[in-house]
Chains A and B, each alone.
Chain A
Amino acid sequence: MSHLDDSARPAPPLGMLAELTHRCPLQCPYCSNPLELTRKRDELDTATWQRVFAEAAELGVLQVHLSGGEPAARSDLEALVASCVEHGLYTNLITAGVNLSRARLDALAEAGLDHVQLSIQGATAEVNDRIANLPGAFEKKRAFAAEVTDAGLPLTLNSVIHRHNLHQLPELVELALDLGARRLEIAHAQYYGWALENRAALMPPREQVMEALALVEAARERLAGKLVIDAVVPDYYARLPKPCMNGWGRQSLNVTPAGRVLPCHAAETIPGLAFWNVREHGLGEIWYDSPAFNAYRGTAWMPDTCQSCERREIDWGGCRCQALALTGDASQMDPVCERSPYHDEVQTLAIVDASRDAEFRYRRFAREASGGKS
């Protein structure tokens, strides 16, 4: 076994995404959850999550993002937030806002919740409810947003953007202001999990993407000091890859509903990586010593082109899961990079997908095999 001296030890993580459950009343076709969703009976219990939060704080995590699925599907959400607060962790609730009552929201605020991030699928009921595949969702979200601000909690609106709602960008900005959000996240769909399944239904045409980028830039300047606008750029049309997770195993970790710890939410798509589980290992041990976290840490794993590139510690070679999805090899440079031999192929693929008219394949649990004894 190779031995790292202390100076080579990776820095502790800043953030942790706690995917409390995969249960969700919505069925967004771009959902980043894996195709194979974890069922309720396989979720970590309350005490285990509480231990994980204690270990996270000890390890150096500062912010916890409570996510899913829909975190409010867990009846112990209040207790989980309280436990994060007890350990000094900043808590961010990422919710679809359709099944959290005012009483529960108040209890969360009381427990010390720091921030709410509400997802919105479109700027009108028609678009929103069709993408979420849930009639009435838009109105519930609006009402929920009002309750969040009324409870004195800061609100971020998060919208995943694709071919079916990109034209609503100006309305989304208005909606964010209208709902009293202090922050708006415009996140172009990232093609993993369900979004990869639905790529031909979601990929927007190139011109539309470029227009949207300009529009976001203009809105950001116009609303400085009033609304923070953060954008996750669409990368299939880009020339350089995004610094995925700011580097593998550098700043954040993900805990799945079943307790596996991942360097990013799509990492389980990479074959041959063993992900350790919090049921068997301490979080610190997983962060520093698990083979999955060390697999693509730093620059040593990189292909020669990246090794000799001045951007190697800026984008860290881009996204491992995207490299896998598009080239079949997770240790390739992200093919979005113009130096990748696959770059032209990816651009072509985006253009072709953007011109297709595929139906949504909505995100849902697979039907279980019948319970009959065999």
Chain B
Amino acid sequence: MNPSAPALAEEAIVRLPRGVRLREDKARGGWVLLAPERVFQLDPVAREVLSRVDGERDIGAIVDDLAAAFAAPRERILGDVRAMLADLILKQVLEVA
């Protein structure tokens, strides 16, 4: 993982900044994150995580929800979600509220 990525607490609340939008891409299939001059094609996991980012729920709550929805070990999900969100923050398509 990138060493300069911020450490995200479970209590942190993240959101998409103005200028970044999540939407379905009907023409190609799947979901995308639209940002200034960039289009990120999301894999199904990223889509599940980002569709729960609403600027209100904290990371812990998002992870709880994912763990319940996919019946997967919470610790592993937490690690993956943290890494993914930190990476998106570095790319400036996500911010801590």
A residues with CB within 8 A of B: 11-12, 14-15, 59-60, 62-63, 88, 90, 92, 114-115, 117, 152-154, 156, 182-183, 185, 224-225, 228, 230
Q: Which residue of B lies closest to A57 (CB)?
A: B27
Q: Known interface pairs A153-B18, A225-B89. Does A63 touch B34 (Cβ–Cβ under 8 Å)?
A: yes
By the criterion CB–CB under 8 Å, are B28 and A154 in contact? no
How many Å from the CB of B55 to the closest CB on chain A? 14
Residues on A with beta carbons closer than 8 Å to the beta carbon of B92: 182-183, 225, 228
By the criterion CB–CB under 8 Å, are A62 and B39 in contact? yes
Q: Which residue of B lies closest to A61 (CB)?
A: B27
Taking CB atoms and an 8 Å cut-off, the chain B residues in 8-51 that contact chain A are 17-19, 21, 23, 25-28, 32, 34, 36-37, 39
By the criterion CB–CB under 8 Å, are A92 and B36 in contact? yes
Residues on A with beta carbons closer than 8 Å to the beta carbon of B6: 225
Residues on B with beta carbons closer than 8 Å to the beta carbon of A12: 27-28
By the criterion CB–CB under 8 Å, are A156 and B28 in contact? no
Residues on B with beta carbons closer than 8 Å to the beta carbon of A228: 91-92
Q: Which residue of A lies closest to B25 (CB)?
A: A62
Residues on B with beta carbons closer than 8 Å to the beta carbon of A115: 19, 36
What is the predominant secondary structure among interface residues of chain B facing chain A? Answer: loop
Q: How many residues of B contact A (CB 8 A)?
A: 22
Interchain CA distance A183-B34 in the complex, whole Å: 15
How many Å from the CB of A77 to the closest CB on chain B? 18
Residues on A with beta carbons closer than 8 Å to the beta carbon of B36: 92, 114-115, 117, 154, 156, 182-183
Interchain CA distance A152-B21 in the complex, whole Å: 15
Taking CB atoms and an 8 Å cut-off, the chain B residues in 64-97 that contact chain A are 89-92
By the criterion CB–CB under 8 Å, are B27 and A154 in contact? no
- Among A12, A182, A225, A230: residue with most chain B CB under 10 A: A225
By the criterion CB–CB under 8 Å, are B17 and A154 in contact? yes
Name 13 A/B residue pairs within 8 A (Cβ), A-sorted: A12-B27, A62-B25, A62-B32, A62-B34, A63-B39, A114-B21, A153-B18, A154-B19, A156-B37, A183-B37, A224-B90, A225-B90, A228-B92
A-B interface, 9 closest residue pairs, ranked by CB to CB distance from nearest: A60-B27, A154-B19, A90-B34, A115-B36, A115-B19, A12-B27, A225-B90, A114-B19, A228-B92
Q: Known interface pairs A153-B19, A154-B17, A154-B36. Does A60 touch B4 (Cβ–Cβ under 8 Å)?
A: no
- Among A60, A115, A152, A185: residue with most chain B CB under 10 A: A115
Interchain CA distance A88-B21 in the complex, whole Å: 10
Interchain CA distance A92-B34 in the complex, whole Å: 11
